[in-house]
Structure 1
Amino acid sequence: MGKGKRATPPIRTTEEIVLGPQHQNQLDLPKTSASHSGPANDTLEAKLLMVRHTKPNSPEKPSSVVDRRRQVSIEPEEGTYQAKTPSHLGSQEESGELDQVPTLILVTTYFSYFILIACAHIRDFFGKIFYPNEFRHLKEVNGYAPMVSDFESLWSRRLYSRISDCFNRPITGVAGGYVTLLDRVSLDHNRSFKLTGTTTRALNLASYNYLGFAQSKGPCADAVERGIKESGITASSPRIEVGQSRVLLETEELVARFVGTEACMIVSMGYATNSLTIPSLAGKGSLIISDELNHSSIVSGARLSGATISVFKHNSVADLEKVLRKHISQGQPRTHRPWKKILVIVEGLYSMEGQFCNLPGILALKERYKFYLFVDEAHSIGAIGPRGRGVCDHFGIDPREIDILMGTFTKSFGAAGGYICANKDIVDHLKLNAFSSVYAETMSVPVLRQVWSSMRIIMGEDREHALEGQERLDQLAINSRYFMTRLREMGFMVLGDPGSPVIPILLCNPSKIPAFSHEALKRNIAVVVVSYPATPIITGRVRICLSSSHSLEDLEYALEQISEIGDLLMLKVRPPTINAISDGGSASSESHHHHHQMKKIL
């Protein structure tokens, strides 16, 4: 071993990476499994798919109410439920994003923001004195106050504008496994952009195209074309007038059957599915308890409702119980009367964290404190669980135990809009009272046809593509677990639970946020970088979104390039646990090894 070189640990096979150490005994493979073929491969594939959605065992957190509860397993053919005991109630319940960030990085991140904000204030102070005409919009003019607050204006002009070229990049064509970007330049420090007339084809790690249904060809595209010929583009009317088409009713019945509830209401806009529906579920005298990292559409809906709002620590069942006990004991403000109703709102898969909600623990609280539960499955429906039924499928829980299940069609189904699934009484109430139903135009038939076609493929009800849906689900599950495991082995600060198609990598320092985006684009990789106000100010990140349309070659290329970027920007805070991607010939050798193993599995 040469001087200064680290000993190289044994290279693990792809099935070992995908399954994790807790399932190695299930495979029972001989040491020379790479050379085996025939029935042994079938056994490996069957066992891999059997455990592809399971999660590592971890000790449960002590809680007065989070006991081992009964769960249900769903028989795919008959749809029956059987009780079983869970072994995992959420591995990241009490862990925070800052737990894995070294102190030095936190200090330098705070210091960087301090310097940026201080310089911004200094520039504005002297700018108002020496360039009054250019800074008129920051002053009161003729009695009119500035339209934008001082801090929002400062942040957008002095910080966001510096890196605005990383956002709102125009594209052309289909945003599938690869995406074509329209190249642009700025000659005025990102105040405006001009298209150059050229394009860049990049590996798409930015879109929510989890199951790869964002396609311009295939059965879904054909169904959309037929929908346009049948009914045109829009009904130009809300549901209560003449907007309720036959296709809408059929699709609502299909979605309700897919999710596992009694009824469904489809909304033409995903954001409005939360923001304009929650006010019809809770109002004055009601209490809404929301996870602190819930989506802004949930926050908007809660504020519009007029209900009292309380927040609990992210994914913490213990803190949720504290909030419940406090508000139930005290009652409504001033009058101390009992609450008319209590509505707890969580997300199935948190899109900025890649974490699953602790659904079994929350349901244990629900049995004791008798609140209504609203679960936003925008990112989990279609992408999580053995049958793609979302977080309920992931944990093996009967969806009828959840009062309201919300989801969107923009992610896994390649469409638009969203849905609310619940019992018939709740859905009928929302159809007559929710702003998203009464005042908004219904979803157009072509979009409904996209939902209908993609969902039937996932369910295996399309005879011509009976196996395609399950193949997409399996590929997404394998891609997600494999990619996350490799990133962690490289030493990156990776958030999220195993099996999540959303994989955030913490960047923290503000200078590394645009640097990562630019370096990735140089390598023909499209990524999304996220910072304040979408995330806490010191936990800026790049969010990787995987798809079933990504091949092993795509993932290996992305991992190799991300590893190089990580070395360049010093993002690896821990030494690699395996020599996942190294310099010289070993990189191509190991890539070939992983490729060979993945082909055996698939």
Structure 2
Amino acid sequence: MITIPYATALTTFFSYGLLFAFGQLRDFFRCIFDWCKDNNNLQGYAPICLGLEDFYNRRLYLRVQDCFGRPISSPPDAWIDVVERVSIDNNKTLRRTTNVNRCINLASYNYLGFAATDEYCTPRVIQSMNTYSASTCSTRVDGGTTKLHTELEQVVADFVGKPAAIVTGMGYVTNSAILPVLIGKGGLIISDTLNHNSIVNGARGSGATVEVFQHNTPSSLEKVLRRCVVGGQRRTRKAWKKIIVVVEGIYSMEGEICKLPEIVAICKKYKAYVYLDEAHSIGVIGKTGRGVCELLGVDTSDVDIMMGTFSKSFGSCGGYIAGSKELIQYLKYNCPAHIYGTSLSPPAAQQIISTINVILGKDGSSRGAWKLAQIRENSNYFRSELKKSGFEVLGDNDSPVMPIMLYNPAKIPAFSRECFKRNVAVVNVAFPVTPLLLARARLCISAAHTRDDLVKALEVISTVGDLVGIKYFPAEPKKTLRDEGRPKVY
């Protein structure tokens, strides 16, 4: 749980209140101006954009939209080419220029560095492009299943330790389309309060009752489970048809690793199914990159549904569900993402197969093991140095996701723009993706980053942190050679 300093919370509320008040005042005068113009072109029509969401976009987001959606003109490697943009109307519209800014990439999910050209993967992807083309132009159940798709599903199942798997063309859709197939009315979904939006939408679309438990807190999960099992369904008090507990391996906005052993034990006790989203943990943590189960010593047979994506560690796109053969067969008959969605691009499928071969050492080298060791070393080094500098950093060791707390809305664009000026590309996250008070900069580390890259990025972030005022803790004094040689005094 994040404890916000009172002064920080007060100034953040005041800043948002000021923006809201002035925005409403400007909207009031705009209504008067429009009324005076007597524009009747839309007379009788309801406003197509209305409400607080529209207000937020116009009065808050537009002011800082230059910090988001920055186009790049290179692979998302350790360094990226970011196209500069300019605005002549106070950020309402942005125009690309011919200038390119070469930046250290702390914004992409390229955890193992496979998103750029690779000596093993790239030639095989190019060959698959020549053989199968860029797209099947069909769904899996029609003409969209190639040998690569069937091979990929078996490779994924073997990699995560499950009997079978099904792959889809988009990671977000994997959650939002699969959950409504697994459970419906009369069922119960118990979700972590900070689960990804794809899980939230999938749970809402299922028709099942949804309960939440306190983020990554097994005791809270047990309390909710006990209450729901004893009370039954809300109106009829009948027993639930099915209970599914949904958690993530690494939480994408917090960088925390799921307390999976305790959660699995509680689910066994109350006969609930476990749905594990490993979008940010598969291919990253664990001795051989097999995710949170391998890291924490959980038997994969104790996790009923294992979900993951290919757009992070594997340098591709799409998602997967792994489970029992009966479950996967059922999903292939009923999942709309499989029946109606265009199948995964064959070159993308080949990229995933090739990266898994590298991770497992099937390419005849030790590059996979080196990449896994490098991402752990880079992540732990970068996290410890950020904390030493005085930043409030969320997450656990071994996690490549490192959120730095910003809080105040004025510091969101300031941090992004100042880092960009100094050739460091970062991603800022604010409301509505996070709670109003908990804006942050989310940094993502890659195995492709060298120690020099990380040192340079730390220097820039430390300088900008002092400039913007986001070092909420005192920095640790730097050791000198004299300090290291001085005897300790007790």
TM-score (norm 1): 0.78
Distance in 2 (alpha carbons) for counterparts of 1:309 and 1:322: 15
Q: Which amino acid letter does the alignment assign opposite residue 407 of structure 2? A: C
Is 1:483 aligned to 2:382, yes or no?
Answer: yes
1:134-153 → structure 2 map (5 Å cutoff): 141-153=42-54
In the alignment, structure 1 residue 102 sits paired with structure 2 residue 1 = no
Shift of 1:250: 0.8
Alpha-carbon distance in structure 1 between the residues aligned to 2:51 and 2:159: 48
Cα shift readout 1:381-410 (whole Å, capped 9, x = no counterpart) = 001111111111110111121000000000
> Unaligned regions of 5+ residues in structure 1, if any?
1-95, 581-585, 594-602
Aligned CA distance change for structure 1 residues 332 and 568 (closer, same or farther; 3 Å): same
Q: CA deviation at 1:146?
A: 2.1
CA displacement 1:461-508 (0-9 Å, x = unmatched):
112xx2000000000000000110111111111100111100000000
Matched, 1:177 2:92: no
Match for residue 196 of structure 1 among 65, 82, 97: 97
Q: Map 1:43-192 onto structure 2 (within 5 A).
A: 96-97=1-2, 99=3, 101-132=4-35, 141-192=42-93
> For 1:390-444, what per-residue CA distance to the aligned partner results, in whole angstroms no more than 9, with x for missing partners?
1111101111210000000000000000000101010110011011111112112
The TM-score normalised by the length of structure 2 is 0.96
Shift of the 135–384 alpha-carbon distance from structure 1 to 2, 3 Å rule, reads farther
Residue number in structure 2 paired with 1:314: 215
Q: Does the Cα contact within 8 Å between 1:476 and 1:548 map onto a contact in 2?
A: yes
Distance 2:285 2:298 in 1: 13
**C-alpha separation in 2, matches of 1:183 and 1:432:** 47
- d(CA) in 2 for partners of 1:353, 1:315: 11
- Match among 411, 414, 420 for residue 312 of structure 2: 411
| TM-fit CA distance, 1:253 | 0.6
* 8 Å Cα contact 1:256-1:421 kept in structure 2: yes
How far, CA to CA, are the matches of 2:472 and 2:391 in structure 1?
6
Match of 2:356 in 1: 455
Is the contact between residue 385 and residue 393 of structure 1 (CA under 8 Å) also seen in structure 2? yes
Aligned to 2:487: none
Aligned to 1:276: 177
Give 1:552's aligned residue: 451
| 1:70 alignment partner in structure 2 | none
Residue 240 of structure 1: CA displacement? 1.7
* One-letter code aligned to 1:286: G
Q: What is the CA distance between 1:133 and its match in structure 2?
A: 7.5
Q: Give 1:263's aligned amino acid.
A: A
Conserved in 2, the CA contact under 8 Å of 1:128 and 1:135? Answer: no
5+ unaligned residues in a row in structure 2: which ranges?
Answer: 485-490
Match for residue 123 of structure 2?
A: 222
What CA deviation, in whole Å up to 9, does each residue of 1:554-575 have, x standing for no partner? 1111111111111111211221
Aligned counterparts of 1:571 and 1:423: Cα–Cα separation in 2: 48
Q: Residues 245 and 267 of structure 2 are in contact (CA less than 8 Å); yes or no, is this contact kept in structure 1?
A: no
> What is residue 472 of structure 1 aligned with on the other side?
371
Question: What is the root-mean-square deviation in Å for CA atoms of aligned residues?
Answer: 1.8
Cα 1:140–1:398 change in 2 (3 A) is farther
Task: Encode CA deviations 1:364-392: one digit per residue, 9 max, x unaligned.
Answer: 10121010110100010001111111111
Q: Answer yes or no: is the 8 Å Cα contact 1:239–1:438 preserved in 2.
A: yes
Q: Confirm or deny: 8 A CA contact 1:140 1:146 kept in the other structure.
A: no
Are 2:332 and 1:431 aligned? yes
Instruction: Name the residue aligned to 2:488.
Output: none
Query: How far off its partner does 1:141 sit?
Result: 4.8
1:286 equivalenced with 2:187 (yes/no): yes
Residues 105, 340 of structure 1: alpha-carbon distance in 2 compared, 3 angstrom cutoff: same
Aligned positions, number:
483
Deviation at 1:318, TM superposition (A): 1.4
Question: Structure 2 CA distance, aligned partners of 1:302 and 1:217?
Answer: 38
- Retained in 2: the 8 A contact 1:248–1:445? yes
> Quick one: structure 1 residues 535 and 134, their matched pair in 2 at CA, closer, same or farther if it must change by over 3 Å?
farther
Secondary structure of the equivalent of 1:329? helix
**What's the secondary structure of 2:142's corresponding residue?**
helix
**1:324 aligned onto 2:225:** yes
Which residue of structure 2 lines up, in the alignment, with residue 241 of structure 1? 142
Partner of 1:535: 434
* Deviation at residue 343 of structure 1 after TM alignment: 0.7
Look up the equivalent residue of 1:410 and give its one-letter code: S
Distance between the aligned counterparts of 2:452 and 2:118, measured in 1? 23
Q: Percent identity?
A: 46
Alpha-carbon distance between aligned partners in 2 of 1:258 and 1:414, rounded to the nearest angstrom: 16
Check whether the contact 1:127–1:135 (CA below 8 A) recurs between aligned residues. no
Residue matched to 2:395: 496
Judged with a 3 Å threshold, the aligned counterparts in structure 2 of structure 1 residues 134 and 202 are, in CA distance, closer, same or farther, namely: farther
Equivalent residue of 1:229, what SS?
A: helix
The residue matched to 1:171 in structure 2 has which SS? coil
CA separation in 2, counterparts of 1:434 and 1:133? 54
Deviation at 1:242, TM superposition (A): 2.2
**SS of the residue aligned with 2:53?**
helix
Aligned pair in 2 of structure 1 residues 245, 559: CA closer, same or farther (>3 Å)? Answer: same
| 8 Å CA contact retained: 2:120, 2:363 | no
Residue of 289, 293, 299 corresponding to 1:398:
299
Select 2:258's aligned residue among 346, 357, 363. Answer: 357
Distance 2:162 2:66 in 1: 44
1:58-100 Cα offsets, whole Å, 9 max, x none, are: xxxxxxxxxxxxxxxxxxxxxxxxxxxxxxxxxxxxxx12x2x
AA of the residue aligned to 2:431: Y
1:345 partnered with 2:345: no
Q: Is the 8 A contact 2:111 2:312 kept in 1?
A: yes
Aligned equivalents of 1:532 and 1:452: distance in 2? 37
